[in-house]
Every structure is written in C-alpha cells, then in structure tokens.
Amino acid sequence: MKKGVMRPGHVQIRVLDLDEALVHYRDLMGLIEVDRDSRGRVYLKGWTEVDRFSVVLREADQPGMDFMGFKVVSEAALEQLHGELIAFGCQVDQIPAGELEGCGRRIRFVAPTGHSFELFADKVQTGRYGVGNHNPEAWPRDLKGMKAERFDHCLLYGPELDKTLELFKEVLGFDLCEQVVTPDGKRVAQFLTCSMKAHDIAFIDHPEPNKFHHASFLLETWQDVLRAGDLISMTDTSIDIGPTRHGITHGQTIYFFDPSGNRNEVFCGGDYFYPDHEPITWDADMLGKAIFYHDRQLNERFLTALT
C-alpha cells in the first residue's frame, strides 16, 4: 500500500578528490553542477530532473555512500512516516531544513542492512535544465558526455534482507518487484519500487553492512549506452562490464567506476511495475544470467568491488 514515498530524491557519495570526481560526474557523465555549500560539498543533477539537485559529492578519506534520500508527497506524509519508522523500531534523526542547500527538513534512519536513508517533502524546484516547463525543446544543446537524464536507483549490499524488505514494504509502502531465491527459500537479492519503475532501490545479501554497489543514472536509448562505453574508453575510465543487458529488470546497462572506486551504472529501458504484479523470481543458480543476461556469469568484481 502506498504511504506517500514518491521517488528517489538524492544520494550523497563520498569521493577522495573532488576535482577528479567532478571531471567524472560532470564532464563524463553529463550531470549538471548546480551548487556548492560551505562544507565544500558539490551538488549536481540530471538534466530532466525538476528538483534542484540529486547527487551530492563529499570529499572524504573513504569512498562509499553517506545516504540515499526519497522524496515524499507532503509534509503530512513525512510526519506520518516519522511515527511509523519509530514504531517499527528505527532510531530517527531529524536534520533541519537547509543542511542540504535548497532542501527542506529531512528525517534519517538506518535500515537493517546498515544503510542510511532519508525522507524529505520539500526541495527547491528549478525545473528541467535548459528547457524548462513551458514549450520545452527536446533537450538542451550544451549537455556533456553521457548526458545522464536522471538519478534512478542504488544497489546496496548488506545483511538482514528480510527485515529490510519488511521495513520498505510495511512502513514505506514499497513493493517487491523482483527477487533471487536459493533452493532453501532464502532471498539473496530484492528489487523494490515505490513507482512504476522496475526498481527504485535494490539490495543484495552480504555479511558486511552498509556497502555501496552502485548509483545508477538513466540514459535515453541503447545507442546512448553504447556511446557511454565509447566515452569510457576515450577517457580511460575504469570499466566493470558492458554494454550488456540485465536479466533482472531487463535493463540495458554498462557499469564503470569513478576515480574513487565507487561504481556507477548508466542504463536504458527495463520492465515496468503495477501494484497488482506478482514479484518475478530468479533461482539463485541462475544468478549469472539474472545479472548479466548475455555473459550468463558474474565477474568477480560484481560481488567484491564495493565501497
């Protein structure tokens, strides 16, 4: 049942060198740099996004994800969810408006997988970059690199998938779209949506909590995914795999790494979801095909290169 969580809103990523990271996220991936704050963080967005920012880069000694935020439909929904998170047993921290530039108050909690998530209801809306909301042209002509359209989802590694699914379903109103299950019935991967998308957040079972696998960004076409591969080679960027197709979600994808070792994905296409859809189930012995539909086997990096 929907609880008012609308969509992914932002992700804060730790990088070792901000200037190198900007060459990657801004010049290679094509995110738009929109702001910097007094703490030295840099704010970016995909050009189709209506809110002010979706990616925050923070310089730190270790790479990884600080938190992922979801936008909720209203202040009333935020208040309701706050109470339900506490009732579920989460410790909820309140972060005042303006701690992220242009973002209203946030509430933050830690999922059983160890990852920090936030909810917020308000963020300054600046509209689609370069085209606006009135008689918009097809796209802005000054986009760089891969021309990433929007921040789409994260894939995270950690323990306690069952409890995390309960939290996301029962408290936050997500649905389970797709899963990977072992012969003895243990769910080792879960792809969850709060929308019509194939996933807004996904988790893979892993003994160590709070590990970051990738942040993913939407491109328009398969040709754009191929072109992203060309740009990865042109810039001698570290590639993980692809271009290829995922079995899970059926998205068309390429994985690569930022200069700090954080994995990124750009992708296009993929399945859709309505609330009456039954979850799609993959057997764990089909995991290779489920992840990389063409190679039909996982590369070692997919399971071990985490930040």
Contact positions vs Fe ion (CB under 5 A): 155, 216, 265
For the bound state, the minimum distance from the C-beta of residue 82 to Fe ion, rounded and expressed in Å, comes to 29
Query: Going by C-beta distance under 8 Å and a sequence separation of 6 or more, which residues neighbour residue 219?
Result: 146, 147, 148, 149, 225, 228, 266, 267, 268
Q: Could you tell me if 265 and 198 are in contact, meaning their C-beta atoms sit under 8 angstroms apart?
A: no
For the bound state, the minimum distance from the C-beta of residue 59 to Fe ion, rounded and expressed in Å, comes to 25
For the bound state, the minimum distance from the C-beta of residue 155 to Fe ion, rounded and expressed in Å, comes to 5
Residue at token pair 């973002």: 103
**77 vs 155, which CB is nearer to Fe ion?**
155
Catalytic residue (one of 265, 272, 293, 294): 265
**54 vs 216, which CB is nearer to Fe ion?**
216
Residue at token pair 């191929």: 226
- Give the separation between CA 72 and CA 94, rounded to whole angstroms: 15
Catalytic residue (one of 255, 272, 274, 278): 255
For the bound state, the minimum distance from the C-beta of residue 192 to Fe ion, rounded and expressed in Å, comes to 12
What token pair was written down for 129? 């970059």
Asked if 166 is an active-site residue, the reply is: no
For the bound state, the minimum distance from the C-beta of residue 279 to Fe ion, rounded and expressed in Å, comes to 17
For the bound state, the minimum distance from the C-beta of residue 302 to Fe ion, rounded and expressed in Å, comes to 11
Asked if 293 is an active-site residue, the reply is: no
**265 vs 271, which CB is nearer to Fe ion?**
265
Q: Please report the beta strands in 73-210, taking only residues with DSSP state E, as ranges in sequence order.
A: 93-95, 106-110, 116-120, 150-158, 175-181, 187-193, 201-205
Catalytic residue (one of 214, 220, 278, 293): 214
**53 vs 203, which CB is nearer to Fe ion?**
203
Asked if 250 is an active-site residue, the reply is: no
Give the dihedral sign, CA 264/268/274/280.
negative
- Give the separation between CA 86 and CA 22, rounded to whole angstroms: 37
- Give the separation between CA 244 and CA 170, rounded to whole angstroms: 34
Asked if 214 is an active-site residue, the reply is: yes
Catalytic residue (one of 10, 115, 153, 213): 153
Asked if 157 is an active-site residue, the reply is: no
What token pair was written down for 22? 């900007």
Catalytic residue (one of 10, 24, 199, 213): 199
Q: Could you tell me if 260 and 211 are in contact, meaning their C-beta atoms sit under 8 angstroms apart?
A: no
**108 vs 263, which CB is nearer to Fe ion?**
263
Residue whose C-beta lies closest to Fe ion:
216
Asked if 199 is an active-site residue, the reply is: yes
Q: Could you tell me if 114 and 209 are in contact, meaning their C-beta atoms sit under 8 angstroms apart?
A: yes
**51 vs 265, which CB is nearer to Fe ion?**
265
Rg (CA), the chain: 18
Residues in the chain: 307
Would you name the residues annotated as active-site residues? 153, 199, 214, 246, 255, 265
